Amino acid sequence: MTVPRRFGRVEEYLHERVARGPVHGTLIDPDKSPGARAARIARGAVDLGSDVILLGGSTGISREVMAAAATAVKQAVDVPVVIFPEGATSLTPAADAVLFMSLLNSRNLDLVIRTHARAAPAVRTMGLEAIPLGYLVIAPGMRVGEVGQVDVIPRDDVASAAGFALAAELLGMRFVYLEAGSGAPAPVPAAMVAAVRSVLSVPLVVGGGIRTGPEARALLEAGAQVLVTGTITEEEGLGSGFRAILEEVRRGRGR
Ligand code: 1GP
């Protein structure tokens, strides 16, 4: 009898990396950075120690644009290329995996489960690895808070965040993502990260508003295991802010 693999290839890779220390994901919006530009950002980010390239944005990205970016990025780097979806229309087998994420504090059931039910057959047909993830939007939430019709969790309501996160884990989700919103003026508070971390055994992903080395360090010290940044490379490229964040990630790995 063949024992099935516990996780898909990309998820296995992420768990292995998390076990070794902090992980960094570079989020690239293929609408702002199509094809070759996405590939250039990805190559530079991976050279600095980023572990995974996420492709997505909060406004409709067509399957063609997503496929072109995924293909270009895959040619440029040898880390996984994962779709960070905002709907089913941007799914493409050109990527390695998709964050199969439920927006747990949305008022819109489409974003909690209905869109997933509609997209699941296509995900299976495409052979796209689905990584189950509970996604929680924390104030201010920015655009994803609005378009996601989210009851944002207040920044001081750590008990609520911990409750949602633990519920996600108990429901079988294998990652939890605390999101302050892309371009947020400040990241998720470290105290909230620490409170969520203390109840979780699955990896904790934190993103939104991370722009400096000290911010990255505070989140990692609080227990974040995966940091995701997007805006900083869209706005400043691979400049000093991004380098400082990656330096903190590498420091956490002990190299
Ligand atoms: C957004 O968490 C990510 O979903 C990244 O946020 O663009 O603020 O880095 P930023």
pLDDT in tens, 50-101: 999 999 986 779 999 999 999 999 999 999 999 999 878 889 999 999 999 9
Let me know how many helices (H) and strands (E) the chain has, helices first. 11, 8
What SS3 state is found at 199?
helix
Band of the pLDDT at 5, cuts 50, 70, 90? Answer: low
Q: Residue 104 belongs to a domain with what CATH number?
A: 3.20.20.390
Q: What is the DSSP string of 120-165?
A: HHHHHHHT-EEEEEEEEEBTT-HHHHHHTTB-PBPTT-HHHHHHHH
Ligand 1 mutation pick, 135, 229, 246, max ligand atoms within 8 A of CB: 229
How many angstroms does the Cα of residue 35 sit away from the middle of ligand 1? Answer: 20
Q: Does residue 2 lie within any of the structural domains?
A: no
Beta bridge partners of 103: 135
Residue 45 lies in domain: 9-253
pLDDT in tens, 132-146: 999 999 999 999 999
Measure the CA dihedral 50/172/220/13, to 10°: -30
CA end-to-end distance (rounded Å), the chain: 41
pLDDT in tens, 161-171: 999 999 999 99
Instruction: Please give the mean pLDDT across all residues of the chain.
Output: 95
Locate the ligand 1 atom nearest the alpha carbon of residue 231 and give its number. Answer: 7
Residue 71: predicted pLDDT? 98
Q: Does residue 1 lie within any of the structural domains?
A: no
Band of the pLDDT at 194, cuts 50, 70, 90? Answer: very high
Q: Could you give the CA distance from residue 170 to residue 50 in angstroms, rounded to a whole number?
A: 29
> Between these two residues, 102 and 5, which has the higher pLDDT value?
102
Q: Does residue 79 lie within any of the structural domains?
A: yes
What's the predicted TM-score (pTM) here? 0.96
- Burial (0-12, 13-18, 19+ Cβ within 10 Å), 119: buried
Q: Does residue 38 lie within any of the structural domains?
A: yes
Whose tokens are 């270009």? That residue is 72
| Number of domains the chain contains | 1
Q: Could you give the CA distance from residue 208 to residue 175 in angstroms, rounded to a whole number?
A: 16
Residue 233: predicted pLDDT? 94
Q: Does residue 198 lie within any of the structural domains?
A: yes
Asked whether 183 lines ligand 1 (CB < 6 A), one says yes
Q: Could you give the CA distance from residue 232 to residue 188 in angstroms, rounded to a whole number?
A: 16
Distant-in-sequence, close-in-space partners of 83: CB < 8 Å, separation ≥ 6: 54, 55, 56, 66, 70, 90, 91, 92, 95, 97, 98, 99, 128
How many angstroms does the Cα of residue 3 sit away from the middle of ligand 1? Answer: 38
Residue 86: predicted pLDDT? 82
Ligand 1 mutation pick, 150, 177, 179, max ligand atoms within 8 A of CB: 179
Q: Could you give the CA distance from residue 180 to residue 141 in angstroms, rounded to a whole number?
A: 5
**What secondary structure letter does DSSP report for 106?**
B
Q: Is there a contact between 10 and 129 (Cβ–Cβ < 8 Å)?
A: yes
Residue 59: predicted pLDDT? 74
Q: Does residue 151 lie within any of the structural domains?
A: yes
CA 244 to chain centre: 19
